[in-house]
Structure 1
Amino acid sequence: MKRAVLFDLDGVLLDSHAAQLATLAGFATSALDRRVTVADLPTGAATVPRQQVLAELGLSGAINDDGWDAATATASLGTEVFPFVGETLTALRAADVATGIVTLRSRRRVGWLVPPDILDLIDTIVCFEDAAPKPAPDGLLLALRQLDVAPADAVFVGDTEPDVHAARAAGVRAVGAGWGFAGPDALSQAGANLVLPHAAALADVLLLLLAGAEPPHRNSKRS
């Protein structure tokens, strides 16, 4: 039986909260021709669509991709994956569990943000241009088809409400990454099967889930 763990990227594998906000502020500064700081961004700016954030700042119309790329590249220079990521992916591979990323980032931007040694541990990556964005289940289902894994034999680790909704729509168990953007309470309310407040022993927890066991000492929500 093939098994898989799928991950969202930002906030789950990538410590990018500050960079997300800096990208929004930098792009808005250039597009509006006035100074926009992170403090000027609306509450929850990192967890809602960028078009909505920019519209609240007074920017309407299509987003210029070249300008957004420039803001992303600059803001993300110091962005790194979380310390647990390499160890977790290595342990999953050793257990013969396939891994994938399903992200709203473009494939080009993923290459800027994730180090090559981490990318080498990922079996498939589904990006913005590959499938309808979450909360639609399309990206998760595409990743599972590429991995030849049934939804019932997979889990998805995400940190926002759309991640949870996408997983449940795909028939995949939703694991809430409480260390990410939305926080544990929002993930529980969205219907995550399991919410992890932190990433300690993450590979062990995921392997227990895939084996059908209940992980100990965790804030769980059964479907």
Structure 2
Amino acid sequence: MKRAVLFDLDGVLVDSRSAQLATLAGFATSTLGRRVRVADLPAGAETTPREHVLAELGLSGAINEEAWDAATATATLTTGLFPFVAETLAALRAADIATSIVTLRGRQRVPWLLPPGVLDLMDTVVCFEDAAPKPAPDGILLALERLGVEPGNAVFVGDMESDMHAARAAGVTAVGAGWGFAGPRALARAGAELVLPHAEDFAGALLLLVGTGRQTGYSKRS
């Protein structure tokens, strides 16, 4: 029986909150021709669709993707992996569990956030161009198809309500990363079967969920 753990990227594997805000502020500064600081962004900007944030700042019309890429590339220089990521991925590989990223990031932008060594530990990566975005289940189902894994043998770890909705629609176990953008309460309300408030023994919790029998201190809907 083949098993898999799928991950969202931002807020789950990569600590990118500051970079998200810096991208918005840098793009707005360049496009509007006036200084826009992170402090000038509306509350919750890091989890709000960029079009809405930019419209509130006074920018209307289509987004120039080349300019957005430039702002993103600069801002993501400040991002880093959460400290548990490499250890967790190595443990999953040692247990012969397939792994994938399912992200709203475009394919070009993923390597800006992840070093080659981490990307090499992923069996597949599903990006914005590959499938309808979450909360649609399409990206998760595509990853499972590529991996040859049935939904009942898979876990998806996300940090947003849309991640939980997508996981449940795909028929995989929905795990909330409480250290990410939305927070534990929002993830529980969105239907997470398990919410991890922190990443202590993250690998152990995932190994238990995908059926290896390794015990952890976590319980359903903790």
TM-score of the superposed pair, with normalisation by structure 1: 0.95
Provide the residue aligned with 1:168 in structure 2.
Answer: 168
- Equivalent residues, number: 222
Question: Once the 2 structures are TM-superposed, how far is the Cα of residue 112 of structure 1 from its aligned partner?
Answer: 1.5
Q: CA RMSD in A?
A: 1.5
Provide the residue aligned with 1:35 in structure 2.
Answer: 35
Provide the residue aligned with 1:77 in structure 2.
Answer: 77
Provide the residue aligned with 2:122 in structure 1.
Answer: 122
8 Å CA contact 2:23–2:72 kept in 1: the answer is: yes
- Superposed, which structure 2 residues align to 1:118-197 within 5 Å? 118-197=118-197
Question: Once the 2 structures are TM-superposed, how far is the Cα of residue 183 of structure 1 from its aligned partner?
Answer: 0.7
8 Å CA contact 1:107–1:127 kept in 2: the answer is: yes
8 Å CA contact 1:141–1:170 kept in 2: the answer is: yes
Partner SS for 1:174:
strand
4+ residue segments displaced more than 4 Å:
212-216
**Alpha-carbon deviations, 1:78-133, whole Å to 9, x = none?**
21111110000000000000000000111110011110000010000000111111
Separation of aligned partners in 1, 2:23 and 2:116 = 23
TM-score of the superposed pair, with normalisation by structure 2: 0.96
Question: Once the 2 structures are TM-superposed, how far is the Cα of residue 213 of structure 1 from its aligned partner?
Answer: 6.5
8 Å CA contact 1:209–1:215 kept in 2: the answer is: no
Provide the residue aligned with 2:105 in structure 1.
Answer: 105
Partner SS for 2:77:
coil
- Superposed, which structure 2 residues align to 1:53-68 within 5 Å? 53-68=53-68
Unpaired segments of 5 or more residues in structure 1?
none
8 Å CA contact 2:15–2:81 kept in 1: the answer is: yes
Amino acid at match of 1:19: A
Separation of aligned partners in 2, 1:117 and 1:132 = 28
Provide the residue aligned with 2:6 in structure 1.
Answer: 6
Question: Once the 2 structures are TM-superposed, how far is the Cα of residue 220 of structure 1 from its aligned partner?
Answer: 2.9
Question: Once the 2 structures are TM-superposed, how far is the Cα of residue 33 of structure 1 from its aligned partner?
Answer: 1.3
Amino acid at match of 1:119: L
8 Å CA contact 1:23–1:72 kept in 2: the answer is: yes
1:94 aligns with 2:94: yes
Partner SS for 1:191:
coil
Separation of aligned partners in 2, 1:12 and 1:46 = 14
Question: Once the 2 structures are TM-superposed, how far is the Cα of residue 218 of structure 1 from its aligned partner?
Answer: 3.2
Question: Once the 2 structures are TM-superposed, how far is the Cα of residue 56 of structure 1 from its aligned partner?
Answer: 1.6
Separation of aligned partners in 2, 1:56 and 1:67 = 19
Separation of aligned partners in 1, 2:188 and 2:215 = 16
Q: 1:136 to 1:215 in 2, by over 3 A?
A: farther
Provide the residue aligned with 1:200 in structure 2.
Answer: 200
Partner SS for 1:181:
coil
8 Å CA contact 2:173–2:193 kept in 1: the answer is: yes
Provide the residue aligned with 1:25 in structure 2.
Answer: 25
Amino acid at match of 1:41: L
Question: Once the 2 structures are TM-superposed, how far is the Cα of residue 59 of structure 1 from its aligned partner?
Answer: 1.2
